[in-house]
Amino acid sequence: MATRMLEIFRLTIKNENGLFFATYSKKAVKSPLFWMILVYSIFLIRAMHEEDPMEVPYPPAQINFRTSRKYISSNYASSSRLGNHLFELASVLSISRELQRVPTFFIENCYHEKMWEDSNTLIPGLMNHFLIINGSVPSSVKRVKFHQKCCTFDDPSLLDNYEDEYLHLTGTHYQSWKYFSHMRNELIGYLKTTENTYMDLPKSGENTFITCVHVRRGDFLRVGFHVADENFIRSSLNLISRQVAKRANTATVFFGDDYEFMDSLRNRTSKINAFVSQNSPADDLLYAKSNCDVVLITAAHSTFGWWMGYFSKGNRVYYTDIQFTKDWILETGEFISEDYYLPHWTPLKYAGSDNFTVIQSFK
């Protein structure tokens, strides 16, 4: 029997389309490589179907109805990073004000807990506006389709006619400055006071001008979002220095997720006083608030770079014009530049397909 099981196994199925053969040879079955591939395939299949323990939903929250107020909550991309969280929370707060509802945050799983903790560490004043409820959104709460595309603006007045006591928006990300267009000073005021003295980084002052460069590469390279190459970044810095750096002393600080790449930039940019930050994301944003006279966002769709520019001291921002890149999000129809980038920010691009000088991209 065992010998027969190792013999050639042949399954033939006749159907209207012809014949299907599945053949396994005795030689293949005896091969160690065959069993390695089989075990690895089973592992991959199991991994694909295993649930992330951080995503396991908490039991439905116990909420009160027939209160004297109305509430609004939303889905959140809670497993994403800080930049995404800030877009979502600032937008939901602004929408709640327009609709005269209480902004509500359901802690639905472990990712929601981490989102709340990370956001509260950076910007506690914003989180203080939210009613925090432990548990998943109950089925009794009204779900409303709103903001189905990541990087566009939907008019909150579309929600005016809903009279339900609780509204839960099904969208995520809310990556548009138009949701909170008049809240910049307010949001900056909500940031915590940092205890970091930034001993290894320069300080902006009357005689010192600081250019902050945000670099995002790692996961963007894997998923196909645009990342700027070294030549683009260096050429952009040359343009910025000609336009805005007018003080006696200048310095450039690189922020990001690829330290080897940033070290290379620092070492190759010998004409400037350059530094690489190794602080936490929250401390990087707090540094920008007090020290970044100008910000260069090199990865066109980096939300963290976006907030570094938004919170920056100088409120002067340059960014890679996504319209002149091959970022795949442009093909989805989910990204509108005018909704994502603030109108006073400056887009940059190469002068031509064979001209690698960076110039301003006029809107």
User: What does the alpha-carbon distance between residue 335 and residue 329 come to, in Å, rounded to a whole number?
Assistant: 7
Q: What is the pTM of this model?
A: 0.84
The mean per-residue pLDDT over the stretch 128-154 comes to 97
Look over the chain and give the mean of its residue pLDDT values, rounded to a whole number: 87
- Please state the φ and ψ torsions of residue 346, each to the nearest 5 degrees: -110, 115
pLDDT, residue 245, reads 66
pLDDT at residue 151 greater than cutoff 80: yes
Domains of the chain with CATH codes: 71-190 (no CATH), 208-360 (3.40.50)
Quick check: 360 and 321 in contact, CB under 8 A?
A: no
Please list, in sequence order, all residues whose beta carbon lies within 8 angstroms of the beta carbon of residue 272, skipping any fewer than 6 positions away.
237, 241, 250, 251, 252
281-295: per-residue pLDDT in tens? 999 999 999 999 999
Question: Tens of pLDDT along 318-337?
Answer: 999 999 988 889 888 899 99
Count of CB atoms situated within 10 Å of the CB of 50: 8
Phi-psi region of 135 (alpha: psi -120 to 50; beta: other; left: phi over 0): left
Let me know: does 136 contact 108? Beta carbons within 8 Å: yes
Instruction: Tell me how far apart the alpha carbons of residues 300 and 288 are, in angstroms, rounded to a whole number.
Output: 18
Structure confidence at residue 12 as a pLDDT band (50, 70, 90):
very low
Query: Would you place residue 50 in the very low, low, confident or very high pLDDT band (cuts 50, 70, 90)?
Result: low
Q: Could you tell me the two tokens for 161?
A: 């006619």
Lowest mean pLDDT among 13-27, 112-126, 137-151, 207-221: 13-27
Distance from the Cα of residue 218 to its chain's centroid:
13
Query: Which DSSP category does 210 fall into?
Result: E
State the maximum Cα–Cα separation within the chain, in Å, rounded to a whole number: 88
144-153, 193-202, 218-227, range with the lowest pLDDT: 218-227
What percent of the chain is modeled with pLDDT above 70? Answer: 84
Q: How far apart are CA 355 and CA 337, in angstroms?
A: 24
Higher pLDDT, 17 or 236: 236
Reported in sequence order, the residue ranges of the chain that DSSP labels E, i.e. its strands, are: 9-15, 18-24, 71-74, 102-107, 131-134, 142-144, 166-169, 208-215, 249-256, 273-276, 294-297, 317-320, 346-352, 355-360
